[in-house]
Amino acid sequence: MTAAMVGWAHLPFGKHADETVESLIVKAATQAIHDAGIGPEDVDEILLGHFNAGFSAQDFTASLVLQADPALRFTPATRVENACATGSAAVQQGVRAVASGSARFVLVVGVEQMTTTPGREIGQNLLRASYLKEEGDIPGGFAGVFGKIAEEYFQKYGDQSDALARIAAKGHKNGVNNPYAQMRKDLGYEFCRTEGEKNPFVAGPLKRTDCSLVSDGAAALVLTDPATALGMKKAVAFRSMAHVQDFLPMSRRDILKFDGCSRAWGQALGDAGMALDDLSFVETHDCFTIAELIEYEAMGLTKEGEGAKAILEGWTEMDGKLPINPSGGLKAKGHPIGATGVSMHVLTAMQLTGTAGGIQVKDAEIGGIFNMGGAAVANYVSILQAMK
């Protein structure tokens, strides 16, 4: 155990036109410090996960965390970015700072404000998480990238529309009970399965309900060493954390395998001395339903090409053998890029401390997290377990 979370905060995700990147950061940071029961003067290092890519005119944002309290002045602060895995990248840097002994308390904040950007620009900004040299002209922006992946998967393994609709419906059903989720509405399988005016095709076989939400939001957490954590009011330890980076161009890999995801899961479970069956639940990166389907295979839940089995047989439902995205996932919760990875860690910590409310997984003891940037390019897996 290299580090532990001892405090956290999660703002509701959604459309927050009355907020700014700065105000979201300040609120999340202030609440996390208070939740940890420490003072701002105790923070030794700050990591900010903020993708930006044009969403905010203010592009130098690390020092905005200092706005939370004058006592944070002169604290080292660094912005971290790794596409849609930006939040987890910031968490990992924090874990390393604690493990190295260079910091006793580290504050990690993840933030993004996307909804104030015009729709066309949102698509252009997100597409920057792909290999523009080869993929920049794919119709439909980043949804087009995953639409292409879905088309290829369908061609190889058959029409998966039923499975994708089940994944979407599961996410929205779970999200109803998540107070931080942007969309708290059970859309049902039939709505997610049926193409129509309210659920049109967006890219390839992907419909609107197959795509995560454009969102604003922030989350924050406080890390410390395990020995210090034992003296705190709550503590959730990192049993392991893995990061695997793959080629950016999809042309250089088999895009249907998510090899980086597989390797990250293998490393994290191996370092933790665990198997997938040891996990109580998983929060995984369902930016698009096809991504969650392939991630079932990449994590080893099913064989290649058989991911549909996990959702169609109910394995990944709240009462299944491995609940996936009890929070509702990015699908219902929203996907403010820089905040997503931090959010996953905060919600997992809530599960493991029995404080997840309506989305609580029964008897949750060990949680797994998979957060990815781009189309399985930046791959982060964390294995968490409560210490007390």
| Residues classed as catalytic | 84, 335
Q: Where are the beta strands (DSSP E) in 147-235?
A: 201-203, 206-207, 217-224
The three-state secondary structure class of 321 is coil
Q: Position of tokens 């509405």?
A: 185
CA 103 distance to own-chain centroid: 25
What single letter denotes the amino acid at residue 331?
Answer: K
Which residue in 105, 109, 107, 93 sits closest to 42, CA to CA? Answer: 105
| Maximal CA-CA distance, the chain | 58
DSSP code at position 213: P
Residues 6+ apart with CB under 8 A from 316: 167, 170, 296, 301, 310, 322, 323, 324, 325
* DSSP assignment string, 132-165: HHHHTT-TTHHHHHHHHHHHHHHHHH---HHHHH
Given a contact cutoff of 8 angstroms between Cβ atoms, the answer to whether 177 and 185 are in contact is no
Given a contact cutoff of 8 angstroms between Cβ atoms, the answer to whether 250 and 132 are in contact is no
CB 282 within 8 A of CB 323: yes
Cα–Cα dist 139/234, whole Å: 48
Strand, helix or coil at 296? Answer: helix
Burial string for 255-269 (b: 16+ CB within 10 Å, else e) reads bbebbbbbbbbbbbb
d(CA 110, CA 221): 9
